[in-house]
Amino acid sequence: MINRLYLRELVTFDEVELEFSKGLVVFTGPSGAGKSVLISSILTSFGYTAQGAAKLCELTLDKPMQLTNSNYELEDELTVKTLKKEKLRYLIDGQNISKKVLYDMFVPYVQYLSVRDKSGFESNTLISMLDTSLLTKNKTFKKLLKEYKKRYANYRIKTQELDKIKEDEAKLAELIEFATYEVSKIEKINPQVGEDESLIQVKKQLSRVDKIKASLSTAMDIFAAESAVEEVYRLLDKNASVFTDAMNQVRADFEETEHLATELEEMDVEEILNRLSDITALQQRYGSIEEALSYKEAKQKELDGYKNIEQDKSMLESFLSMEYTELSTLARQISKARQKEAQQLEKTLKGYLITLKLPEFNFVFTSKVLCENGVDSVDAHLGNSNTSTLSGGEFNRVRLALMATTISDNAGQGVLILDEIDANVSGDESIAIAEMIGKLSKVYQIFAISHQPHLSAKADQHIVVTKDANKSQVIQLSNEGRIHEISRIIAGENPTKEAIDFARRLRG
């Protein structure tokens, strides 16, 4: 329920502040006074595309019980605000929100009917209406629909998996050839982690082997003086152990160097350089030896998966065939329940439509390929006409009748905004529309622009919009004010006594 509206600088309105009651809130007033502009500001606040926006528009409302959004902290009494500067900004409880997210949050709770709008009789919408009606009173249907939707969702996933297998199968030979080539190329080189560093070290040593040998040959002369040095230490009665240990270490190092030089001379330099080139090429392509080995493992698993593709395909095809049969059975049961519910709604609607001087309404079921909603495609006919050919007024009177027949006994179904829903209708039709809207106002908070006395008379709250010298204002009417406004609607700006008396009778 919307509790309060505050706005500034909206076309011809300087400032408006209104507190709203439950039930039916009717806006009346002369044409061009600004009623539609005012309603438009409310719609804009909920993300609807509407003409014009106030510099500031703020709505406070009770949070619908089911409304949640993990991205926003929401109070029990929400504040929805629009601010217009260079562009229009939307806020909910002080938090910025996009128009689309705002609309998606509130569209289940704030509905809009206009003579210019001819949506609402699409197949999915009609199916949803029938399902909603059934779910409130048929536990078997609820269980059936839940099972079908769960199984169909899995069926779609498995169908997509099969499609992927068939797509892969079509290019399987190419995929196998590529994966095999990639694996064999790495296996042929058979790189070892850390091998690149060892090869680079060997390469450096090979480039210095001649210099090492030459320097070693010259350095060997050091051992010719070793005995003489030891004799000097002995004659001086000094300990020669440090010198002896050092010479032993030099001798061991020189022997090791001689062995290394011999090994290097025996190595195949070309083979080492080729090996290093292969390893470097792998690193350049894959980043490192570790990544090359990881890539090879992934490609090997890919090859193993291709070997199982035929088996997976056969199992999926078998599952999907059986599941399609069972889903089709469930879908037919769901369709049967929907068609039975449709017949009940048609009977209930009949009385409303007679009052509205409209022909019978019929749901038309045709079968289609299995989908999320089963096998039903649902159209609607009014008499011999498809609903797409109806006038805006006829269209919305049927929608109101449908809403009246499908409301639950629980109050608080949301907000319903009606823009001149009773325009250009006869007296009898106006009465019938007022009766239906009155019934709907027991469970909806309804905002309606009206030019008819019968709907205005049923209002729980009556607000008149006037305009003087290009400035609009709103006034919440008292009982006497309502009688005067209703009589104006009946007879014009200077109502007769008969019009005033009739307005009093309408008010009861």
* Domain ranges, residue 280: 174-309
Is 137 a member of any domain? no
Distance CA 195, CA 207 (A): 19
Maximum average pLDDT range among 46-50, 373-377, 488-492: 373-377
Q: How far apart are CA 197 and CA 191, in angstroms?
A: 12
pTM of the model: 0.64
Say how far apart CA 146 and CA 132 lie, in whole Å.
Answer: 13
Count how many domains the chain has.
1
Contact status, residue 7 vs residue 15, Cβ threshold 8 Å: yes
pLDDT confidence band for 58 (50 / 70 / 90) = very high
3-state SS class at 143 = helix
Answer yes or no: is pLDDT of 309 > 80.
no
Model confidence at 118, pLDDT cuts 50, 70, 90, reads low
Asked if the model's pLDDT at residue 470 lies above 90, the reply is no
pLDDT-based confidence at 117, cuts 50/70/90?
A: low
| Max mean pLDDT range (144-153, 156-165, 255-264) | 144-153
**Residue range 124-141: average pLDDT?**
90
Q: What is the pLDDT of residue 274?
A: 80
What's the pLDDT at 425?
74
- Predicted confidence (pLDDT) per residue in 255-291, tens digit: 887 887 777 676 777 777 788 788 888 888 888 888 8
* Residue 469 to residues 8, 17, 237, 412, 425, Cα–Cα distance (Å): 18, 20, 129, 40, 31
Instruction: Provide the 3-class DSSP secondary structure of residue 450.
Output: coil
Of the pLDDT bands very low, low, confident and very high (cuts 50, 70, 90), residue 116 is low
Query: Which of the two residues, 493 and 471, has the higher pLDDT score?
Result: 471
Dist CA 392 CA 482 (whole Å):
28
- At 393-412, the pLDDT tens digits run 777 788 888 887 776 655 56
Measured CA to CA, the distance from residue 117 to residue 124 in angstroms comes to 17
Cβ atoms 123, 378 nearer than 8 A: yes
In a domain, 107, yes or no: no
Length of the chain: 508
Give the Cα separation of 2 and 63 in Å (integer).
Answer: 9
**Residue 86 maps to a domain:** no
pLDDT at 198: 80
| The CA-based dihedral angle spanning residues 281, 282, 284, 290, taken in that order and rounded to the nearest 10 degrees | -150
Least confident of 231-240, 296-305, 442-451: 296-305
Which range, of 64-73, 113-122, 272-281, 319-328, averages the lowest pLDDT?
Answer: 113-122
301 within some domain: yes
The reply to whether 271 falls in a domain is yes
**What mean pLDDT value characterizes the chain?**
86
Closest alpha carbon to 180 in 304, 279, 312, 313: 304
Does residue 181 lie within any of the structural domains? yes
**Two structure tokens written together for 171:** 């290019």
Distances (CA, A) of 25 to 22, 71, 365, 443, 457: 8, 33, 37, 13, 11
Q: Does any domain span residue 290?
A: yes
Q: Residue 215: inside a domain, yes or no?
A: yes
